[in-house]
Structure 1
């Protein structure tokens, strides 16, 4: 089912300058004038559908609801949340985050945007990475893939050099590849074979750079359309499945279980609402590469 989300959660409200300009138009009809003062550039507006190549408008799941719709999230205490650890994912759209407050509300892990393509770095990444660590979170960085702009190897190199590293400190999750719907075409203009090559190059280069197999964030629908539902990655790469519903549903080929699940794009914690599939000790094992 494909529906367009009419009220995206990250869409900024009308700014003061926009409201004054509208008022000026009305007063102009009455023969009056109004002066609109100059202001700083407004925050980027999130599109109603995934049609922009602007990396500031991309985050984990920024294209998912528009392509796949949204259902009711799992109820607290439901079977789909049994034996899971709550967490979240964020980017600069959340602004300054109250990390102590999110931890106090129960979140124990977070993934945060670090890079996109081979030029973009999320402006809040450093603050988020440090703030989450100091609050006690197990945290990790993710890269938003633009497979049509450069090779998987080149983007992996950029990611590894700008936040995508890993350290055996017990607090760092494996780096993650966020690969989802393209802005101009679902599969970024690549064939299924070319997309598999791109993902393989990214995965292998990150493993060579960090010693960790990256987590792969995607949806079953996108993965099926754009890789031919490849089963080549389940043996090594943890799966972060995106599905805004009461259960994670059918998983992509090759994965017998999910490691993380993004089940809603708003809720108790800042950003998207996620769970780790297992107890806290399992999350710690993943961080420690054991």
Structure 2
């Protein structure tokens, strides 16, 4: 009797391991998404892309119920994404809102990072606010820079971008980088938060504006080194998104709307 119980337990454990492994593989390959936000609650959706998505057919990609796209422009003080010019130009031909983002470097002055972005990103009427992507790279997760030094360079960059484009930038962050560098501060800036496991719950209780809910979706329209694409939602309805600040030109000066 005892050996029979042991065999039953062994079978159940094996079955559980197989199911767990199968589920993990389905998640890894993007068949199952851990987050699936309600389209009723979050009807405004978009992607963010870089050269990792390779050649993008914007007509095909944008036709998949997307409302916006943020495109990687620059990184640090000198790097320009080699697909940016094409992506930025072609995306503007589609019926979606378009913006550009910068991958922030902890090893470079904020002023020169802003200059790099400004040199690469020519504003156009209707452009979404510039985005500063504040996350970790290399060994920065294990050895994060101190908050004071990051704030100094980040503040310089944000100020320079706002002065040039007339729009307060959006700050993208993971929940860890948010807690380390943004929590309790930067209230005047909209937050684009990454959480691919659950709905975001920011440690200081503030609301987010954009949410990157998955980095493992697969959509027709691109063919690159990266098989997956990041998908995001806006925290509001379509009317609110239409009223969201965009670049407009008035005598050569940028203005924040509405």
Structure 1 distance, partners of 2:137, 2:79, is: 17
- In the alignment, which residue of structure 2 is the partner of 1:280? 238
**Which string of whole-angstrom CA distances, capped at 9 and with x for unpartnered residues, describes residues 214-240 of structure 1?**
100002212223x2x5422122x1110
**Which string of whole-angstrom CA distances, capped at 9 and with x for unpartnered residues, describes residues 120-157 of structure 1?**
11111111111111111201000001121x21111011
Confirm or deny: 8 A CA contact 1:74 1:246 kept in the other structure. no
**Which string of whole-angstrom CA distances, capped at 9 and with x for unpartnered residues, describes residues 52-103 of structure 1?**
xxxxxxxxxxxxxxxxxx98112554xxx61430110000111121222222
- In the alignment, which residue of structure 1 is the partner of 2:190? 238
Q: What SS is found at the alignment partner of 1:113? A: strand
- Of 257-266 and 92-101, the range deviating more from structure 2: 92-101
Structure 2 distance, partners of 1:160, 1:188, is: 30
- Judged with a 3 Å threshold, the aligned counterparts in structure 2 of structure 1 residues 187 and 138 are, in CA distance, closer, same or farther, namely farther
Confirm or deny: 8 A CA contact 1:242 1:263 kept in the other structure. yes
Structure 2 distance, partners of 1:222, 1:259, is: 16
Q: Any gaps of 5 or more consecutive residues in structure 2?
A: 1-23, 223-228, 247-256
- In the alignment, which residue of structure 2 is the partner of 1:196? 151
- Structure 1 residue 160 corresponds to structure 2 residue 118: yes
- In the alignment, which residue of structure 1 is the partner of 2:8? none
- Structure 1 residue 263 corresponds to structure 2 residue 213: yes
Structure 2 distance, partners of 1:179, 1:109, is: 20
CA displacement at 1:107 relative to structure 2? 0.7
- In the alignment, which residue of structure 1 is the partner of 2:102? 143
Structure 2 distance, partners of 1:206, 1:187, is: 29
- In the alignment, which residue of structure 1 is the partner of 2:199? 247
Pick the structure with more strand per residue.
2
Confirm or deny: 8 A CA contact 1:179 1:216 kept in the other structure. yes
- Structure 1 residue 88 corresponds to structure 2 residue 47: yes
Q: What SS is found at the alignment partner of 1:141? A: strand
- Judged with a 3 Å threshold, the aligned counterparts in structure 2 of structure 1 residues 209 and 121 are, in CA distance, closer, same or farther, namely same
Count of matched residue pairs: 215
Corresponding residue to 1:218 among 154, 173, 188: 173
The CA RMSD measured in Å over matched residues stands at 2.7
Confirm or deny: 8 A CA contact 2:192 2:212 kept in the other structure. yes
Structure 2 distance, partners of 1:267, 1:104, is: 16
Confirm or deny: 8 A CA contact 1:75 1:246 kept in the other structure. no
Query: If the length of structure 1 is used for normalisation, what is the TM-score?
Result: 0.67
Q: Any gaps of 5 or more consecutive residues in structure 1?
A: 11-69
Structure 1 distance, partners of 2:112, 2:28, is: 32
Corresponding residue to 1:101 among 60, 84, 90: 60
Structure 2 distance, partners of 1:246, 1:107, is: 22
Moved over 6 A (4+): 5-10
- Judged with a 3 Å threshold, the aligned counterparts in structure 2 of structure 1 residues 287 and 133 are, in CA distance, closer, same or farther, namely farther
Corresponding residue to 1:72 among 9, 34, 53: 34
**Which structure's relative contact order is higher, taking Cα pairs within 8 Å and 6+ residues apart?**
2
